[in-house]
């Protein structure tokens, strides 16, 4: 059936047609919409699968590995640093011979945090024993996902697969796609019935045992399975072509037979190259194109077969391996052609878009030159990179010139006006209020989240105080390291770690907990808008019961973490809750935290207009209702003693708070009563009053 | 291949404009491909979306630097963004503005905000502007636009969908009546 779908929707359709049984989901731009689409499919009964929201990508891959070890067909979609965080579990999947399939909507790996697609995420895992398929468009994503399961699950292979597409460039572009019929797919890809790894108490097996001298033998088997996979991929492609009429192979050679010039590419650039080959052929130029569709296993023989007779080969690479001059795919092409006399040149284009004019410029230069060159195409030194710290004075400083620094005073605020937050953003307001308490001697450490995209985006920065963005999962550890180093160097400044709820409750909990345990003097500030808002509203550990997000479509079910109790379990820590509607209470608490010589945790509930679905001007009113209904209790906790700061004279029913928010719009009376009951219980427990 | 760039603010439906337009073109027997740039979009921030329509499968993807047509969903945006950047010499603009503006290229103006507020009770103008685009360029038929919107907004409620189809027609007629064409 023809459908007009985005690349991400194609990822979801590919997984659905493959009848995946367990899916893990964790948001990361630009792969998130694929998980959201899968949630929609499950919610609407179009797909019979268990979909699990995880706390991080490491968790997401863990879920896939666990579910696959228990005998289910599993799936996840991710990219970039999320994929990097999965690393340990990737090697577990291939080591345990688990045919997990992952889709990658490729994106650059930070830092700096980029949004373009350059394959550095997937190609840097080329040694993890995953089969790697690179897709040109949405159609190929669907087809490749189905075939990937078939190949991965083949008993001669039993290795996991990556199906890679380009983030934004393909994941967010819509095309006409022929979605295969389920019945035909079912015949090609039968139900997954593993004979090697499963759970059966009547047939107990031990997995993941330690080895000593046998490891090389295991590695050799993996190596051989990867080599054998080549023929199996070819066979599956042929079978697929018979059923669906679309032919794929390890590579696609386009007009290479008599070609003097051949350009080698991967992914969506190949469509452009194919058109250009046609155009140049009409002008009488003997040119061809080789598409590398499968990168692991690397199609060495095919590369030799199609490229050996050319005069010149140009390899276009998106990713490089710093330390070797060649781009990653060129490196492998050269190795394959080591015995031939072909002149092989290499352009590295990284995450740049690629169009017809780029081919013209490349060809004009390359066709005239006789040397073997490696060059970055239209990418040069951007002198602004030197001023990325936000101080335009950096260059002056380097030259030894005198620079007047803009420093902040107490009450002034270290984040300037005009940042790119949504209208009515109360998280930003809370952060401004908190930071206004500090003078210039403050260092701000940040996990990924709304703030990291709002406070600074190259080449601009709104920060007047030192600001350090670390990754999502490890800011707690990085802040600890800073505290130790600053002490050692005698730098006297407060460290404030600013993190959203996803970073504190979920992905960053491990390093946050370890930092608390060690007792570094850090003020942890959680601006809690109760979901992953930066990626477009997905469920976090803090999302309240029955709140709708894009990954809890029918309303959040199950337990909600009590973060204060978790923090309190670490010993002597100053803990305080706060609300956007009570700024003086918040400021007092921050001042107190600043005065203490121990860790502090301040948890601010910040309504979010797009995420909670209300008009921007209603934010403070909703925040106030949160407190007046007892949903949010303002209190402090220190060494076993709870001090409640505000008890409403007459507590309002929670319905008043809920009905102003679109995310709760579908609640039944019984569900509201259930929420009321839980709030009553919690309120009584904390305040001792009803 | 015709290249279309849509300017709006986050939340105004620029991306959906491009998706509906390119999906609709496929009902006219053409090829369409729509996309958005790699940006951090927040509500209210300037947003660009891109559409490509052609007679054969479309190879190029990503940001459009030299558009044939530029759509501006909100003329207030033009204080912050030069919407004419990179436009082809014979390129045309379709702008949501009650009055004509000083520009280097030919432009069609209509007060889409008033029409949208009238019909949809909200100043989201993308569907009105889709109708205006069809009338001003003839690149896509009204019938196909109706099919395209039903496809892309399939998960909308029936009432909301029908109202938006009305909005497309209203935008189409507004331009066909020759109001504000320059």
| A339/A11 Cα distance (integer angstroms) | 39
pLDDT, tens digit, for every residue of B126-175?
A: 999 999 999 999 999 999 999 999 999 988 899 999 999 999 999 999 99
Question: What pLDDT sits at residue B179?
Answer: 54
How far apart, in Å, do the first and last CA atoms of chain B sit?
Answer: 25
| B6/B13 Cα distance (integer angstroms) | 10
**What is the mean predicted confidence (pLDDT) over A371-379?**
95
pLDDT, tens digit, for every residue of A219-272?
A: 999 999 999 999 999 999 999 999 999 999 999 999 999 999 999 999 999 999
**Residue A664: burial class (beta carbons within 10 Å; 0-12, 13-18, 19+):** buried
Per cent of chain A over pLDDT 90 is: 87
Residues in chain B with CB shorter than 8 Å from the CB of A170 are 61
Contact B59 A271 (CB under 8 A): yes
Question: What is the pLDDT confidence band of residue B178, given thresholds at 50, 70 and 90?
Answer: confident
Question: What is the pLDDT confidence band of residue A105, given thresholds at 50, 70 and 90?
Answer: very high
Nearest CA in chain B to A172: B35
Question: What pLDDT sits at residue B81?
Answer: 87
Looking at the complex, report in whole angstroms how far the Cα of residue B15 sits from the nearest Cα belonging to chain A: 10
Cβ(A172)–Cβ(B14) under 8 Å? no
Residues in chain B with CB shorter than 8 Å from the CB of A421 are 42
Q: Which of A30, A174, A420 sits opposite B45 (nearest CB)?
A: A420
Looking at the predicted structure, is the pLDDT value of residue A597 above 70?
yes
Question: What pLDDT sits at residue A113?
Answer: 86
Question: What pLDDT sits at residue A8?
Answer: 97
* Closest listed residue to residue A643, CA positions, set A580, A583, A688, A602: A688
Residues in chain A with CB shorter than 8 Å from the CB of B44 are 422-423
Q: Which residues contact A576 (CB under 8 A, 6 or more apart)?
A: A589, A592, A593, A600, A601, A602, A603, A635, A636, A637
Contact A173 B35 (CB under 8 A): yes
**What is the mean predicted confidence (pLDDT) over B66-72?**
97
Q: Which of B61, B62, B151 sits opposite A4 (nearest CB)?
A: B151
Query: Is beta strand A101-106 parallel, antiparallel or unpaired with respect to A74-78?
Result: parallel
Query: Is beta strand A312-317 parallel, antiparallel or unpaired with respect to A287-292?
Result: unpaired
Q: Which of A168, A174, A354 sits opposite B34 (nearest CB)?
A: A174
Contact A115 B40 (CB under 8 A): yes
Question: What pLDDT sits at residue A384?
Answer: 47
Ranges of H-type helices in A317-388: 328-336, 356-366
Q: Which residues contact A360 (CB under 8 A, 6 or more apart)?
A: A276
Nearest CA in chain B to A535: B40
Helix axes B158-176, B142-152, angle to 10 degrees: 150
Q: Which of A117, A176, A422 sits opposite B43 (nearest CB)?
A: A422
Q: How many Cβ contacts (< 8 angstroms) between chains A and B?
A: 84
Contact A355 B60 (CB under 8 A): yes
Residues in chain B with CB shorter than 8 Å from the CB of A116 are 38
Question: What pLDDT sits at residue A386?
Answer: 36
| A613/A291 Cα distance (integer angstroms) | 46
* Closest listed residue to residue B154, CA positions, set A44, A182, A172, A613: A44
pLDDT, tens digit, for every residue of A183-224?
A: 999 999 999 999 999 999 999 999 988 999 999 999 999 999
Chain A residues with CB under 8 Å of a chain B CB are 4, 30, 40, 115-117, 166-170, 172-176, 268, 271-272, 274-275, 353-356, 420-423, 453-454, 457, 609-610
Contact B42 A422 (CB under 8 A): yes
Question: What is the pLDDT confidence band of residue A393, given thresholds at 50, 70 and 90?
Answer: low
Cβ(A53)–Cβ(A502) under 8 Å? no
Question: What pLDDT sits at residue A407?
Answer: 62
Looking at the predicted structure, is the pLDDT value of residue A398 above 70?
no
Residues in chain B with CB shorter than 8 Å from the CB of A454 are 42
Residues in chain B with CB shorter than 8 Å from the CB of A423 are 43-44
Question: What is the pLDDT confidence band of residue B49, given thresholds at 50, 70 and 90?
Answer: very high
Task: Quickly list DSSP for A455-470.
Answer: HEETTEE-BSS-EEE-
Three-state secondary structure readout of chain B: CEEEEEEEECCCCHHHHHHHHHHHHHHCCCEEEEEECCCCCCCCCEEEEEEEEECCCCCCCCCCCCCCEEEECCHHHHHCCCCCCCCCCCCEEEEECCCCCCCCCEEEEECHHHHHHHHHCCCCCHHHHHHHHHHHHCCCCHHHHHHHHHHHCCCCCHHHHHHHHHHHHHHHHHHHCCCCEC
Q: Which of B22, B42, B45 sits opposite A174 (nearest CB)?
A: B22
Nearest CA in chain A to B16: A174
Helix axes B112-120, B158-176, angle to 10 degrees: 150
Looking at the predicted structure, is the pLDDT value of residue B66 above 80?
yes
Q: Which of B35, B151, B155 sits opposite A172 (nearest CB)?
A: B35
Cβ(A574)–Cβ(A568) under 8 Å? no
Helix (H, G, I), strand (E, B) or coil at A223: helix
Q: Which of B31, B38, B59 sits opposite A168 (nearest CB)?
A: B38
Nearest CA in chain B to A136: B59
Looking at the predicted structure, is the pLDDT value of residue A408 above 70?
no
**What is the mean predicted confidence (pLDDT) over A5-31?**
97
Residues in chain B with CB shorter than 8 Å from the CB of A175 are 32-33, 58
Question: What is the pLDDT confidence band of residue B26, given thresholds at 50, 70 and 90?
Answer: very high
Residues in chain B with CB shorter than 8 Å from the CB of A422 are 10, 42-44
What mean pLDDT, rounded, does chain A reach? 93
Residues in chain A with CB shorter than 8 Å from the CB of B66 are none
Q: Which of A272, A457, A609 sits opposite B60 (nearest CB)?
A: A272
Q: How many residues does chain B have?
A: 182
Contact A168 B35 (CB under 8 A): yes
Question: What is the pLDDT confidence band of residue A391, given thresholds at 50, 70 and 90?
Answer: very low
pTM, to two decimals: 0.94
Per cent of chain A over pLDDT 70 is: 95
CA trace torsion A353, A359, A364, A369 (10° rounding): 90
Question: What pLDDT sits at residue A389?
Answer: 42
**What is the mean predicted confidence (pLDDT) over A667-689?**
94
Question: What pLDDT sits at residue A578?
Answer: 98
Nearest CA in chain B to A107: B38
Question: What is the pLDDT confidence band of residue A68, given thresholds at 50, 70 and 90?
Answer: very high
Looking at the complex, report in whole angstroms how far the Cα of residue B118 sits from the nearest Cα belonging to chain A: 20
| B93 φ/ψ angles, rounded to the nearest 5 degrees | -115, 150
Residue A359: DSSP 8-state: H
Contact A4 B43 (CB under 8 A): no
Question: What is the pLDDT confidence band of residue B52, given thresholds at 50, 70 and 90?
Answer: very high
pLDDT, tens digit, for every residue of A409-449?
A: 656 778 877 777 888 999 999 999 999 898 888 999 999 99
* Closest listed residue to residue A252, CA positions, set A227, A275, A232, A270: A270
Residues in chain A with CB shorter than 8 Å from the CB of B9 are none
Residues in chain B with CB shorter than 8 Å from the CB of A7 are none
Residues in chain A with CB shorter than 8 Å from the CB of B33 are 173-175
Cβ(A144)–Cβ(A85) under 8 Å? no
Looking at the complex, report in whole angstroms how far the Cα of residue B159 sits from the nearest Cα belonging to chain A: 18
| A103 φ/ψ angles, rounded to the nearest 5 degrees | -100, 140
Residue of B24, B41, B59 best to disrupt the A interface, most CBs of A under 10 A: B59
Question: What is the pLDDT confidence band of residue A549, given thresholds at 50, 70 and 90?
Answer: very high
Nearest CA in chain A to B149: A4
Looking at the complex, report in whole angstroms how far the Cα of residue B122 sits from the nearest Cα belonging to chain A: 13
Question: What pLDDT sits at residue A397?
Answer: 57
Q: Which of B26, B60, B155 sits opposite A176 (nearest CB)?
A: B26
Q: Which helix (H) or strand (E) holds A75?
A: strand A74-78
**What is the mean predicted confidence (pLDDT) over A134-141?**
98
Nearest CA in chain A to B148: A4
Looking at the complex, report in whole angstroms how far the Cα of residue A281 sits from the nearest Cα belonging to chain B: 17
The region of weakest confidence among A15-29, A387-401, A631-645, B1-15 is: A387-401
Q: Based on C-alpha coordinates, what's the Rg of chain B?
A: 15
Question: What pLDDT sits at residue B41?
Answer: 63
**What is the mean predicted confidence (pLDDT) over A586-594?**
97
Residue of B4, B20, B37, B61 best to disrupt the A interface, most CBs of A under 10 A: B61
């Amino acid at each position: 059936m023809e459908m007009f779908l985005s690349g991400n929707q194609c990822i979801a359709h590919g997984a659905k047609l493959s009848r995946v049984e367990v899916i893990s989901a964790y948001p990361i731009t630009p792969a998130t919409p694929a998980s959201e689409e899968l949630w929609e499919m499950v919610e609407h009964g179009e797909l019979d699968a268990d979909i699990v929201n995880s706390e991080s990508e490491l968790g997401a891959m863990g879920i896939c590995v666990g579910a696959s070890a228990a005998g289910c067909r599993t799936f996840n979609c991710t990219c970039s640093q999320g994929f990097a965080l999965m690393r340990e579990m990737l090697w577990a999947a291939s080591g345990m011979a688990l045919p997990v399939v992952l889709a990658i909507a490729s994106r650059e790996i930070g830092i700096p945090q980029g949004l373009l697609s350059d394959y550095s995420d997937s190609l840097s895992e080329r040694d993890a024993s995953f089969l790697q398929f690179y897709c040109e468009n949405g159609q190929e994503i669907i087809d490749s996902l189905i075939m990937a399961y078939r190949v991965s699950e083949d008993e001669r292979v039993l290795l996991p697969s990556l199906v890679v597409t380009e983030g934004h460039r393909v994941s967010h572009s819509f095309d006409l796609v022929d979605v295969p019929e389920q019945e035909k797919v079912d015949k090609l890809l039968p139900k997954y019935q593993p004979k090697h790894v499963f759970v059966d108490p009547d047939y107990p097996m031990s997995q993941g045992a330690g080895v000593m001298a046998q490891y090389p033998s295991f590695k050799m088997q993996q190596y051989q399975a990867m080599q054998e996979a080549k023929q199996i991929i070819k066979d599956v492609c042929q079978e697929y072509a018979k059923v669906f009429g679309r032919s794929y192979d390890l590579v696609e050679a386009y007009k290479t037979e008599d070609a003097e010039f051949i350009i080698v590419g991967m992914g969506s650039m190949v469509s452009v190259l194919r058109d250009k080959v046609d155009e140049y052929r009409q002008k009488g130029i003997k040119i061809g194109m080789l598409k590398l569709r499968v990168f692991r296993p690397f199609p060495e023989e095919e590369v030799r077969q199609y490229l050996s007779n050319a005069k010149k080969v140009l390899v276009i690479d998106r990713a490089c391996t710093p330390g070797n001059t060649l781009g990653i795919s060129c490196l492998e092409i050269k190795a394959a052609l080591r015995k031939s006399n072909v002149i092989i040149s290499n352009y590295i284009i990284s995450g740049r878009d690629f169009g017809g004019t780029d081919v013209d410029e490349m060809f004009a230069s390359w066709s005239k030159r006789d040397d073997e060159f490696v060059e970055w195409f239209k990418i040069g030194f951007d002198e602004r990179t030197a001023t990325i710290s936000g101080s335009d004075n950096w260059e002056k400083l380097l030259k030894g010139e005198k620079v007047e620094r803009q420093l902040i005073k107490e009450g002034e605020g270290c984040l300037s006006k005009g940042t790119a937050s949504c209208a009515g953003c109360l998280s930003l307001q809370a952060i401004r209020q908190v930071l206004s308490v500090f003078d210039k001697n403050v260092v701000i450490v940040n996990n990924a989240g709304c703030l990291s995209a709002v406070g600074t985006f190259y080449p601009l920065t709104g920060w007047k105080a030192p600001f350090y963005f670390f990754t999502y999962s490890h800011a707690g550890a990085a802040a600890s390291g800073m505290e130790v180093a600053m002490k050692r160097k005698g730098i006297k400044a407060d460290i404030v770690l600013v993190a959203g709820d996803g970073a504190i409750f979920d992905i960053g909990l491990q390093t946050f907990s370890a930092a608390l345990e060690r007792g570094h003097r850090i003020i942890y500030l959680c601006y809690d808008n109760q979901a992953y808002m930066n990626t477009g509203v997905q469920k976090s550990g803090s999302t309240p019961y029955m709140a709708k997000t894009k990954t809890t479509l029918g309303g959040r079910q199950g337990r909600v973490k009590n973060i204060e109790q978790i923090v309190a379990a670490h010993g002597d820590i100053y803990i305080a809750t706060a609300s956007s509607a009570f700024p003086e209470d918040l400021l007092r608490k921050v001042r107190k935290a600043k005065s203490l010589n121990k860790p502090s945790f301040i948890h601010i509930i910040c309504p979010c207009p797009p995420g909670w679905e209300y008009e921007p001007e209603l934010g403070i009113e909703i925040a106030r209702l949160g407190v007046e209904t007892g949903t949010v209790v303002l209190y402090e906790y220190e060494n076993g003693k709870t001090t409640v700061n505000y008890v409403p004279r007459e507590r309002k029913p929670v319905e008043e708070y809920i009905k102003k928010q679109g995310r709760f719009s579908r609640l039944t009376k019984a569900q509201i009563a259930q929420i009321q009951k839980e709030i009553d219980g919690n309120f009584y427990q904390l305040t001792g009053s009803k | 291949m015709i290249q279309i760039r849509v300017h709006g603010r986050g939340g105004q439906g620029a991306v959906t404009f491009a998706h509906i337009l390119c999906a609709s073109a496929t009902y006219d027997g053409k090829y369409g491909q729509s996309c958005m740039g790699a940006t951090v979009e927040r509500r209210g921030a300037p947003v660009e979306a891109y559409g490509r329509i052609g007679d054969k499968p479309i190879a190029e993807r990503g940001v459009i630097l030299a558009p044939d047509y530029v759509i501006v969903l909100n003329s207030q945006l033009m204080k912050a963004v030069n919407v004419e950047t990179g436009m082809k010499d014979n390129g045309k603009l379709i702008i949501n503005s009650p009055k004509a503006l000083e520009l280097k290229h030919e432009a069609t103006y209509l007060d889409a905000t008033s029409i949208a507020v009238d019909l949809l009770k909200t100043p989201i103008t993308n569907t009105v502007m889709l109708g205006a685009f069809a009338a001003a360029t003839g690149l896509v038929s009204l019938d196909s636009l109706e099919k395209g919107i039903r496809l892309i907004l399939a998960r909308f409620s029936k009432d909301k969908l029908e109202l938006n189809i009305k909005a497309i027609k209203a935008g189409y007629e507004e331009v066909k009546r020759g109001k504000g064409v320059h």
